[in-house]
A and B are shown apart, each in its own frame.
Chain A
Amino acid sequence: MAPRLPRPVRNLPAIAYVALVYGFIFLPVAVLVLFSFQESRVPVPPFNGPSLRWYAAVFSDTRMMDALTNSILVALLSSLVSVVLGFLAAYGLARHRVPMSGLIQGFLTAPLTVSYLIIAMGLLITFNAVGVPKSLLTIGIGHVVINLPLCFAIVYSQMGEHQANIERAARDLGAAEWQVLLLVTVPILWPALFASFFLAVTFSWDEFIIAFMVSRFEVTLPVEIWSMLRSGLNPKTNAVGSFVFLISIAIVLVLDLIVLRKRKA
Chain B
Amino acid sequence: MSTGGMSKGGMSGTAVEIDRVTKRFEQTLALDAISLAIEEGSFVVLLGPSGSGKTTLLNILGGFLEPTTGRVLIKGADVTFVPPAKRPTTTVFQDYALFPHMTIAGNVGFGLAMRGVARPERCARVETALELVGLAHTRARKVHQLSGGQRQRIALARALVVEPAVLLLDEPLGALDLKLRRQMQEELKAIQKRVGTTFVHVTHDQDEAMAIADTIVVMNEGRIEDQGAPERVYLRPKSRFTADFMGDSNFIAGRVAEAAAGQVMVDTALGRFAVEGTAAVGQAVTLSVRPEHVRAGAAAGAAQPLGTARVLESGFFGTHHQCTAALEAAERPFKVRLPQKESIAPGSDLPLSVDPADLVLLTG
Q: Measuring CB to CB, which residues of chain A are less than 8 angstroms from any residue of chain B? A: 162, 165-166, 168-176, 179, 183-184, 187-188, 190
Contacts and interface: CB of A to CB of B under 8 A. Distances in A.
Q: Identify the 3 closest CB pairs spanning chains A and B, nearest first.
A: A173-B111, A174-B114, A169-B97
B100 A171 contact: no
B223 to A, nearest CB: 27
B90 interface: yes
Nearest to A177: B85
B54 interface: no
Nearest to A190: B101
Given A172-B91, A173-B90, A166 B114 contact: no
Contacts of A175: 85, 110, 114
A174 B90 CA distance: 9
A170 B64 contact: no
B170 to A, nearest CB: 10
A171 B83 contact: yes
Interface string B79-104: 00001111001110101011111000
A160 B163 CA distance: 30
Contacts of B158: 173
- B interface, how many residues as a size bin? 20 to 34
A165 B95 contact: yes
A172 B107 CA distance: 13
B20 to A, nearest CB: 25
Contacts of A168: 64, 84, 93, 97
Contacts of B137: none
B162 interface: yes
B115 interface: yes
A165 B98 CA distance: 9
A162 B99 contact: no
A195 B196 CA distance: 48
A173 B91 CA distance: 8
B222 interface: no
A190 B100 CA distance: 12
Contacts of B111: 173-174
Given A168-B84, A179-B114, A173 B101 contact: no
A76 to B, nearest CB: 25
B62 interface: yes
B64 to A, nearest CB: 7
A194 to B, nearest CB: 13
A169 B94 CA distance: 11
Interface of B: 62-64, 83-86, 89-91, 93, 95, 97-101, 110-111, 114-115, 158-159, 162
Given A165-B95, A166-B98, 12 more contacts: A166-B97, A166-B99, A168-B64, A168-B84, A169-B91, A169-B98, A172-B62, A172-B64, A174-B86, A183-B110, A184-B99, A190-B101
Contacts of A179: 114
A170 B83 contact: no
Contact of B97 (A165, A174, A183): A165
A190 B102 CA distance: 13
Interface hub of B86, B90, B95, B101 (most chain A Cβ within 10 A): B101
A183 B106 CA distance: 11
Interface hub of A162, A165, A173, A184 (most chain B Cβ within 10 A): A173
7 contacts: A165-B95, A166-B99, A171-B83, A171-B85, A173-B85, A174-B162, A183-B110
A160 to B, nearest CB: 11
Given A168-B64, A169-B91, A176 B85 contact: yes
Contact of B99 (A170, A172, A174): A170
Contacts of A172: 62-64, 84-85, 89-91, 159
Nearest to B155: A169
A170 B107 CA distance: 10
Contact of A188 (B89, B101, B110, B159): B101
A173 B162 contact: yes
Contacts of B64: 168, 172
Nearest to B62: A172
A162 B114 contact: no
Nearest to A169: B97
Contacts of B99: 166, 169-170, 184, 188
Interface hub of B63, B97, B111 (most chain A Cβ within 10 A): B97
A151 B145 CA distance: 31
Interface hub of A172, A183, A187 (most chain B Cβ within 10 A): A172
Nearest to B100: A188
Nearest to B111: A173
B101 A165 contact: no
Given A168-B84, A187-B101, A174 B115 contact: yes
A142 B89 CA distance: 48
Nearest to B63: A172
Nearest to B86: A174
A170 B162 CA distance: 13
Nearest to A165: B97
A188 B115 CA distance: 22
